[in-house]
Structure 1
Amino acid sequence: MFDIKTQEIELGGKTLKLETGRVARQADGAVLATLGETVVLCAVTAAKSVKPGQDFFPLTVHYQEKFSAAGRIPGGFFKRERGATEKETLTSRLIDRPIRPLFPEGFYNEVLVIAQVLSYDGENEPDILAMIAASAALTISGVPFMGPIGAARVGYKDGDYILNPTQTEIAEGDLDLVVAGTPNAVMMVESEANELSEDVMLGAVMFAHAASKKICDAIIKLAEKAAKDPWELDLLEDSGETKAKLKGVIGADLEAAYKLTNKQERQTAINAAREKARNAFADLAESDPAAYLGTLKLVKKLEADVVRTAIIKEGRRIDGRDTKTVRPIEAMVGFLPRAHGSALFTRGETQAICTTTLGTKDAEQMIDGLDGLSYSRFMLHYNFPPYSVGEVGRFGAPGRREVGHGKLAWRALHPMLPSAEEFPYTIRVLSDITESNGSSSMATVCGGSLSMMDAGVPLKRPVAGIAMGLILEGKDFAVISDILGDEDHLGDMDFKVAGTSEGITSLQMDIKVAGITEEIMKVALAQAKDGRAHILGEMSKALGETRTELSAHAPRIETMQIAKDKIREVIGTGGKVIREIVATTGAKVDIDDEGLIKISSSDLSQIEAARNWITGIVAEPEVGTVYTGKVASIVDFGAFVTFMPGKDGLVHVSEIKNERVEKVADVLTEGQEVKVKLLEVDPRGKVRLSMRLVDQETGAELEDTRPPREQRDDRGPRGDRGDRGPRRDRGDRGDRGPRRDRDDRGPRGEGRGDRGDRGPRRERSDNRNDDNGPAPEFAPAFLNRDDD
Structure 2
Amino acid sequence: MFDKHIVETTWGGKKLTLETGRIARQADGAVLATLGETVVLCAVTAAKSVKPGQDFFPLTVHYQEKFSAAGRIPGGFFKREGRPTDHETLTSRLIDRPIRPLFPEGFLNEINVICQVMSYDGENEPDVLAMVAASAALTISGLPFMGPIACGRVGYVAGEYVLNPSRDIEESQLDLVAAGTMDAVLMVESEAKELPEDVMLGAVMFAHEHGKGVIEAIIELAEKAAKDPWELAPADKEAEADKKALKKAVGKKIAAAYKMTAKQDRQDALAAAKEEGMAALGDDLDATRKMKAGKSFKKLEAEIVRGGIIKDKTRIDGRKLDQVRPIEAEVAVLPRTHGSALFTRGETQAIVTTTLGTADSEQMIDAIYGMSKQHFLLHYNFPPYSVGEVGRFGGTGRREVGHGKLAWRALNPVMPTKEEFPYTIRVISDITESNGSSSMASVCGGSLAMMDAGVPLKRPVSGIAMGLILEESGEFAVLSDILGDEDHLGDMDFKVAGTSEGITSLQMDIKVAGITEEIMHTALEQAKGGRAHILERMNDALGGTRETMSEHAPRIETVSVPKDKIRDIIGTGGKVIREIVAETGAKVDIDDEGIVKVSSSVASEIEAAVNWIKGIIEEPEVGTIYTGKVVSIVAFGAFVNFMGGKDGLVHVSEIKNERVEQVSDVLEEGQEVKVKVLAIDDRGKVRLSMRVVDQETGEELEDTRPPREDKPRGDRGPRRSSGGDRDGGGRSRGGDRGRGGGRGRGRSRDNDDSSSDKGGEDAGLPDFISGDDD
- Settle same-fold status: TM greater than 0.5: yes
- 1:457 — aligned with what? 455
- 2:74 — aligned with what? 74
Specify the SS of the correspondent of 1:709.
coil
String of CA shifts for 1:575-630, please: whole Å, max 9, x gaps. Answer: 11111211222211111111110001111111111111111212212101101112
CA distance in 2, matches of 1:580, 1:763: 45
Letter aligned with residue 217 of structure 2: A
- 1:771 — aligned with what? none
- Does the 8 Å contact 2:103/2:144 carry over to 1? yes
- 1:105 — aligned with what? 105
Specify the SS of the correspondent of 1:285.
coil
Matches within 5 A, 1:99-248: 99-169=99-169, 171-237=170-236, 240-248=240-248
Match of 1:471 among 469, 472, 491: 469
Specify the SS of the correspondent of 1:532.
helix
Q: How far 1:644 moved relative to its partner?
A: 3.5
Specify the SS of the correspondent of 1:93.
helix
What's the C-alpha RMSD, in Å, of the aligned pairs? Answer: 2.1
Match of 1:424 among 405, 422, 425: 422
Q: How far 1:642 moved relative to its partner?
A: 2.1
CA distance in 2, matches of 1:485, 1:701: 77
- Does the 8 Å contact 2:179/2:187 carry over to 1? yes
- 1:36 — aligned with what? 36
Letter aligned with residue 369 of structure 2: D
Letter aligned with residue 463 of structure 1: V
- 1:534 — aligned with what? 533
Specify the SS of the correspondent of 1:469.
strand
Match of 1:332 among 297, 306, 330: 330
CA distance in 2, matches of 1:356, 1:308: 40
- Does the 8 Å contact 2:245/2:281 carry over to 1? no
Q: How far 1:708 moved relative to its partner?
A: 3.2
CA distance in 1, matches of 2:150, 2:461: 31
- 1:388 — aligned with what? 386
- 1:49 — aligned with what? 49
String of CA shifts for 1:60-103, please: whole Å, max 9, x gaps. Answer: 11111111111111122211111110011000000100000000
String of CA shifts for 1:212-232, please: whole Å, max 9, x gaps. Answer: 121111111110110001011
Specify the SS of the correspondent of 1:168.
coil
Q: Which sections of structure 1, spanning at least 5 residues, go unmatched?
A: 711-716, 729-736, 741-758, 765-788
Asked if 1:704 is matched to 2:696, the reply is no
Specify the SS of the correspondent of 2:479.
strand
- 1:713 — aligned with what? none
CA distance in 1, matches of 2:378, 2:725: 83
String of CA shifts for 1:348-406, please: whole Å, max 9, x gaps. Answer: 00000000000000100011100111110000000000000000111111100110000
CA distance in 2, matches of 1:673, 1:507: 62
CA distance in 2, matches of 1:601, 1:760: 52
Specify the SS of the correspondent of 1:661.
coil
CA distance in 1, matches of 2:311, 2:550: 52
String of CA shifts for 1:275-311, please: whole Å, max 9, x gaps. Answer: 222222244624xx65554333111111011111111
- Does the 8 Å contact 2:611/2:643 carry over to 1? no
- 1:693 — aligned with what? 692
Specify the SS of the correspondent of 1:610.
helix
- Does the 8 Å contact 1:155/1:161 carry over to 2? yes
Specify the SS of the correspondent of 2:300.
helix
Specify the SS of the correspondent of 2:360.
helix
- Does the 8 Å contact 2:258/2:316 carry over to 1? yes
Provide closer, same or farther for how the CA distance between residues 582 and 235 of structure 1 changes in structure 2, counting only shifts above 3 A.
Answer: farther
CA distance in 2, matches of 1:366, 1:173: 24
Q: How far 1:667 moved relative to its partner?
A: 2.4
CA distance in 2, matches of 1:760, 1:190: 85
- 2:742 — aligned with what? none
CA distance in 1, matches of 2:284, 2:714: 138
Matches within 5 A, 1:539-558: 539-558=538-557
CA distance in 1, matches of 2:551, 2:619: 35
Specify the SS of the correspondent of 2:340.
strand
Provide closer, same or farther for how the CA distance between residues 556 and 739 of structure 1 changes in structure 2, counting only shifts above 3 A.
Answer: closer
Letter aligned with residue 109 of structure 1: N
- Does the 8 Å contact 1:128/1:152 carry over to 2? yes
Deviates more, 1:174-183 or 1:214-223: 214-223
Specify the SS of the correspondent of 2:168.
helix
Letter aligned with residue 488 of structure 1: D
CA distance in 2, matches of 1:585, 1:726: 50
CA distance in 2, matches of 1:738, 1:305: 115
- 1:772 — aligned with what? none
- Does the 8 Å contact 1:281/1:292 carry over to 2? no
Specify the SS of the correspondent of 2:162.
strand
Deviates more, 1:667-676 or 1:312-321: 667-676
CA distance in 2, matches of 1:725, 1:560: 54
CA distance in 2, matches of 1:686, 1:54: 85
CA distance in 2, matches of 1:670, 1:240: 96
- 1:259 — aligned with what? 259
Specify the SS of the correspondent of 2:285.
helix
Highest Rg: 1 or 2? 1
CA distance in 2, matches of 1:569, 1:208: 53
- Does the 8 Å contact 2:612/2:645 carry over to 1? no
Specify the SS of the correspondent of 1:167.
coil
CA distance in 2, matches of 1:5, 1:703: 97
- Identity rate of aligned residues, in percent? 73
Letter aligned with residue 523 of structure 2: A
Deviates more, 1:563-572 or 1:695-704: 695-704
String of CA shifts for 1:665-702, please: whole Å, max 9, x gaps. Answer: 33222322111100111234332211121111011112
CA distance in 1, matches of 2:60, 2:218: 22
- 2:588 — aligned with what? 589
Letter aligned with residue 442 of structure 1: M
- 2:370 — aligned with what? 372
- Does the 8 Å contact 1:106/1:235 carry over to 2? no
Letter aligned with residue 449 of structure 2: S
- 1:783 — aligned with what? none
CA distance in 2, matches of 1:426, 1:116: 33
- Does the 8 Å contact 2:363/2:373 carry over to 1? yes
CA distance in 2, matches of 1:605, 1:760: 46
Matches within 5 A, 1:379-778: 379-473=377-471, 474-709=473-708, 762=749
Q: Which sections of structure 2, spanning at least 5 residues, go unmatched?
A: 727-745, 752-774
Provide closer, same or farther for how the CA distance between residues 73 and 441 of structure 1 changes in structure 2, counting only shifts above 3 A.
Answer: same
- 2:319 — aligned with what? 321
- 1:749 — aligned with what? none
CA distance in 2, matches of 1:450, 1:581: 37
Provide closer, same or farther for how the CA distance between residues 672 and 242 of structure 1 changes in structure 2, counting only shifts above 3 A.
Answer: closer
- Does the 8 Å contact 2:634/2:663 carry over to 1? yes
CA distance in 1, matches of 2:42, 2:641: 69
String of CA shifts for 1:634-684, please: whole Å, max 9, x gaps. Answer: 344333222333432222233222334344333222322111100111234
Letter aligned with residue 585 of structure 2: G
Letter aligned with residue 165 of structure 1: P
- Does the 8 Å contact 1:192/1:507 carry over to 2? yes
Deviates more, 1:612-621 or 1:94-103: 612-621
Q: How far 1:172 moved relative to its partner?
A: 1.8
- 2:769 — aligned with what? none
String of CA shifts for 1:384-441, please: whole Å, max 9, x gaps. Answer: 0000000011111110011000000000000000010000000000000000000000
Q: How far 1:240 moved relative to its partner?
A: 4.9
- 1:308 — aligned with what? 306
Letter aligned with residue 544 of structure 1: G
CA distance in 1, matches of 2:167, 2:470: 37
CA distance in 1, matches of 2:657, 2:538: 69
- 1:285 — aligned with what? 285
Specify the SS of the correspondent of 2:653.
helix
Specify the SS of the correspondent of 1:452.
helix
CA distance in 2, matches of 1:763, 1:459: 72
